[in-house]
Amino acid sequence: KLLLDKLLRYQPASLPPVPPRNRIRPSALDLKRALRLNQIKPFYQPKVALQQGEVVGFEALARWCDPLKGIVPPGEFIDLVSEYGLLKELTLAMLDCVLADMNAWNSLDLFPSVSLNISVNQLEDPSFANHIIRNVKNANINPTKILLEITESALMKDQAVALGNIGRLKLNGFGFSIDDYGTGFSSMQQLSHIAFSELKIDRSFVCRVSESEHLCNIVQSSLDMGQRLGLTTVAEGVETVEELQLLRAMGCDEIQGFLFSAPMPASDVLPWLNDNGARIANLCRC
């Protein structure tokens, strides 16, 4: 019986990962309800400056905290949010949580910056900048502490409106980051129009950088270009010390990835910072 039991449970290592428990596609109502009940909130992943060996910021990444399904990652709902026309609600919900968290962390000037993800299509809404500026002002947060990470998942239709929004946000002190650089539409096309302050190299390049000289060259040229344009360069998805060392040698400014931490709930941020300062400084020196 024991043997039979074992055989029935046997899973070869090559089987694909077990799919998430609940594969039912959430409806627009499900997502609206989740937003209304504040179930979609930011988890925070640290961004570390290699020279200083210090945390210089956190990226806010959306998580749907559902009492039944548990913590649902954005890969399972962001596209639907967009399809249902709820991206603006999501961004404002995320922003409000980020502002409340920043105020709870309570050291307005000392605390590192927070990055928020926005999709480029949202910039085509003429009222976008005003909403963001108003909410940040009302929360008494300095806009220079906020970086907007732009992923271009589709071509911009109304560039004039988008550039107007960006201009207003920049005038108010917000920073812009080009996310997932090297993939899809996140490209030189964008760089030529928008005054970014940061360039994030996509994880798909970073995770294979130690395997291939070819990829190494691609990453190196992206870093060089970023530097020439005066941008802070960030590599996302760094998981190993080897990758850190390579990227540091290549002149990358900042690093984000599971090597330091996976995204964590807001309540873990301060304790995590207290417990990990020395480990991070050591990792950056090694």
User: Closer CB to ligand C2E, residue 9 or residue 181?
Assistant: 181
Phi then psi for residue 199, to 5 deg, are -125, 125
User: Closer CB to Mg ion, residue 128 or residue 181?
Assistant: 181
Which residues between 87 and 106 bind ligand C2E (CB under 6 A)? Answer: 90, 94
Q: Which of Mg ion, ligand C2E, none is residue 186 near (CB under 5 to 8 Å by kind)?
A: none
Between CA 77 and CA 227 the distance in angstroms is: 35
Residue 198 contacts residue 232 (beta carbons within 8 Å):
yes
Query: Could you give the residue ranges of the DSSP H alpha helices within the chain?
Result: 2-9, 28-36, 78-83, 87-105, 128-138, 159-171, 188-191, 203-206, 213-228, 241-249, 266-285
User: Closer CB to Mg ion, residue 30 or residue 239?
Assistant: 239
Q: Which of Mg ion, ligand C2E, none is residue 73 near (CB under 5 to 8 Å by kind)?
A: ligand C2E
Query: According to CB under 6 A, which one of 57, 86, 117, 175 is a site residue for ligand C2E?
Result: 117
x/- site string to Mg ion, residues 95 to 134, per CB under 5 A?
A: ----------------------x-----------------
Cα-based distances in Å from 267 to 69, 139, 263, 271: 21, 19, 12, 8
Question: Which structure tokens are listed for 81?
Answer: 């949010």
Closest contact distance (angstroms) between CB of 7 and ligand C2E is: 33
Between CA 188 and CA 254 the distance in angstroms is: 21
User: Closer CB to Mg ion, residue 202 or residue 254?
Assistant: 202
x/- site string to ligand C2E, residues 231 to 270, per CB under 6 A?
A: -----xxxx----------------xxx----x-------
x/- site string to ligand C2E, residues 32 to 71, per CB under 6 A?
A: -------------x---------------xx---------
User: Where is 152: in which H helix or E strand?
Assistant: none
Q: Which of Mg ion, ligand C2E, none is residue 74 near (CB under 5 to 8 Å by kind)?
A: ligand C2E
- Burial annotation 46-58 (CB, 10 A radius, 16+ → b, else e): bbbbbeeeebebb
Query: According to CB under 6 A, which one of 30, 32, 54, 74 is a site residue for ligand C2E?
Result: 74
Q: Which residue has the tokens 């954005």?
A: 74
Least Cα distance to 47 among 149, 196, 195 occurs for 149
x/- site string to Mg ion, residues 227 to 246, per CB under 5 A?
A: ---------x----------
* Bridge partners, 177 (sequence order): 149, 198
Closest contact distance (angstroms) between CB of 5 and ligand C2E is: 34
Which residues between 200 and 229 bind Mg ion (CB under 5 A)? Answer: 202
* Residue 139: CA count within 13 A, CB half-sphere: 24
Binding site for ligand C2E (CB under 6 A): 45, 61-62, 73-75, 78, 90, 94, 117-119, 149, 151, 179-180, 203, 236-239, 256-258, 263
Contact footprint for Mg ion (CB under 5 A)? 117, 149, 179-180, 202, 236
